[in-house]
Every structure is written in structure tokens, then in C-alpha cells.
Amino acid sequence: MMRASYSLMVLPVLIAMTANVPATHAQDRDSNAGFQRAIDSVMPRVVKLYGLGAGKQKGYGTGIIVSDDGDVLTVFSLLIDARHIRAVLADGTIHQAEVIHRDRQRQLALLRLTRPTAPGTSPAPNALDPFPSFDLDRDVNAAVGDWVLAAGNAFKVADGAEPVSIAHGIISTRTRLDARRRLKDFPYRGDVLIFDGITSNPGAPGSAVVNLDGELVGMIGRVVTSNQTYTHLNYALPRDVLDEFYLESLAAEQGEPTPPETTDQSETPLDPGIRLSRVGYQRILPFVERVKFGSPAQRAGVRKDDLILSLNGRNIPDADEYKRRLSYLEPGESIDLVVQRGRAIVSLRIEMDEK
């Protein structure tokens, strides 16, 4: 299975660059007519979410309404761990939201709006009124090069009934990510849509991405960085993935067993039996914290507190690089390590077990 990386995007992006501003810009006096339909459609279907925040994890985000009785899709994040999640609709009405289902693998969550609690809103809308919603089931035409708008609560710029921020761009490509969220690899392995506009901002995850007809194309995913370029990725989970998750969530709610989370064996890196220290800020030095008993590493003589300097001749500046280098190895391939032990430099060869 090939994992297209961010740098591979360059080609599709260049192709996509030759696309242009919607032709309605031609009408000078009416220069936004091309986006107006999309804006009108997306605004009432997006909710501002407020929940748990800690440190750099902002306590705000975005969700999209996917059913007329108030099911809301958003990303899996700390926000939804709040005791009370607040959802502010486009008209400023405030609803409580409860978590119905969460999916670590796709990094998605399903919320449901409960009746409005509404300080500062008037008049309280009829609780039985259907919510304006996106139809996840509907196949939407969205090709590479198409214009899209993303609408969401990025940077928390909009308050109450104020319309959320929009961003515009084109679909650069549909691909898979080799990305991480801080130090951890991003677990989602399915397809994503990549944009040329900047969509990766605090609060933006969960934003609706729509085409110029205002139809849902996808949802902005969590803020992640590329493993190749360390830049933020501007991507969305496509509508079909959202639909899949939504149907599963509803099934799970009905008590049907969820399909087991499939982990792709080929994606698991080889494990010589070394656990590295996790202590460090920004950069974690590759100190060996523990060596698994009976592992290839122990047999080769790796010890606790060794500092790994290189692996198969490659410099290993930090723990991330160690993991990445491991992931490139073929099963059975031996590993040449150079470690610093006290003041000594020690070379070791780990012979891996054949699988």
C-alpha cells in the first residue's frame, strides 16, 4: 500500500493552479456571486462548538449538522471530553451537545444537540423545528481543481450569531496522509482531500467544506503536520468517509457490534525491543528507557540509558527519527546501532528475528 506524502502533492497542485477564480468575478459589481450560493447554504449548517481546552488544545471548534434532528459531526478531540459541550447555531441559539459516538481511528466524533438552553437568545426557537442539515448520503461531484469553501469557527473570530469565517481554495488532490499529530503518527489511513487554501488553524477542525453549489464535500480534519515537510496539512475527510462513520455510529447506538478496528500489520514497524524515554520538550533525545527481556536488542547488548546516535549509518537526532528509520526497514533486516554509553561510543548490531 503506497502512502502518498505531502511532497507528492506538488504535481497535482501545479496542475490545479491553472484553474481559476469563479467566472462570476467577471461581474464587477457583483463580484461574489460565485460564492454567494455556497455561503448561504453552508452558514446555517455549521455550529460553533465550545468545550474542554487545555494548553495548546483550544476549547473551541466546529461541527456540521448532518440530520434534521440535530446530529452533529466533528473531529475527535479534547473538546468533546467536556462535561458540557456548547453548540452555537448560526442564528445564535445555544444548544447543549452530547457525545454519541467516537472513532479514534478516523478521528471523528458524533454529537447530538439537545434542547436549547439559551442565555442571550430570544426568542427561543421551537425545539421541534428541524435543523438545517447536510445530506451525507448524497453523492456530490467534487473533482480535483474544483472550487471549495470551508466554513468554521477558526480562531473563534465569530461570536454568537455572527457568521463563521470562510476560506476558499481548490481541491488539489485526493490522497492519503503520512502525517502526525505532535509526536504521534496520525492514525487515520484513509483518503483525504488536500486544498491549496489554508484550512489548518485552531478551531477550524470540523469545518464544513462545500462546493460552489453549497453541497458538502468534506470536513476539515484535526491539525496535523506532514512527516515529510513538517508543514501543516490543509486537508479534509471526504464526505463518503463521514457517511461511513455516521452510519456506523448510528448502528453502534442501536446496539449492533462495531466492526473491529482493523490494524494493518504491514504498517507496524519492526520492534527490536527498545523503549525510548519520553521526557523532553519539543525534541525528545533517543535515550533508551527500557530494553524488553529476550528481545533482539537485549541479545545485541543494548542497555538502559544508552543514547542512540545512529541507525544503519543514519544520524538519529531524536526519538521520532528513530521510529521513522525503523519503519523503513524490511522484516529480517539487521540494525547497526551506534550508541553513547557514559563517555564511550559503542557500536552494536541487532539481528532481527525473521517473521
Decide if residue 20 touches another protein (CB under 8 A): yes
CB 54 within 8 Å of CB 68: no
Site string for another protein, 43-82 (x = CB under 8 A): -------------x--------------------------
Span of 99-107, 192-200, 303-311, 324-332 interacting with another protein by CB under 8 A: 192-200
Decide if residue 165 touches another protein (CB under 8 A): yes
Measured at the alpha carbon of residue 303, what is the angle toward residues 302 and 305, in degrees to the nearest 5?
Answer: 125
C-alpha dihedral, 145 to 190 to 43 to 62, nearest 10°: -140
CA distance 324 to 318: 10
CB 110 within 8 Å of CB 44: no
Decide if residue 181 touches another protein (CB under 8 A): no
Residue 298's SS3 state is helix
Decide if residue 202 touches another protein (CB under 8 A): yes
By C-beta, is 131 or 147 nearer to another protein? Answer: 147
Classify residue 24 by its DSSP letter.
G
Decide if residue 312 touches another protein (CB under 8 A): no
Decide if residue 7 touches another protein (CB under 8 A): no
| 88-107 positions binding another protein, by CB under 8 A | 92
Q: How many residues bind another protein (CB under 8 A)?
A: 59
Q: Judged by CB under 8 A, which of 86, 176, 232, 323 binds another protein?
A: 232
| 114-153 positions binding another protein, by CB under 8 A | 118-124, 141, 143, 145-147
For residue 295, give Cα distances in angstroms to 239, 352, 353.
44, 9, 9
Span of 127-135, 198-206, 284-292, 324-332 interacting with another protein by CB under 8 A: 198-206
Decide if residue 260 touches another protein (CB under 8 A): no
Decide if residue 21 touches another protein (CB under 8 A): yes
**Per the omega criterion (within 30 degrees of 0), is the bond before 125 cis?**
no
CB 88 within 8 Å of CB 72: no
Q: Judged by CB under 8 A, which of 197, 218, 221, 273 binds another protein?
A: 197
By C-beta, is 22 or 269 nearer to another protein? Answer: 22
Q: Residue 90: which residues within 8 A CB-CB, separation 6 or more? A: 43, 44, 45, 46, 47, 161, 163, 164
Q: Residue 305: which residues within 8 A CB-CB, separation 6 or more? A: 287, 288, 341
Q: Minimal distance in Å, beta carbon 211 to another protein?
A: 8
CA distance 300 to 288: 14
Decide if residue 27 touches another protein (CB under 8 A): yes
By C-beta, is 119 or 255 nearer to another protein? Answer: 119
Alpha carbons within 13 A on the beta-carbon side of 324: 18
By C-beta, is 164 or 338 nearer to another protein? Answer: 164
Q: Judged by CB under 8 A, which of 7, 31, 228, 347 binds another protein?
A: 31
Q: Which residues bind another protein (CB under 8 A)?
A: 17-29, 31-39, 56, 92, 118-124, 141, 143, 145-147, 154-155, 157-168, 196-199, 201-202, 212-213, 232
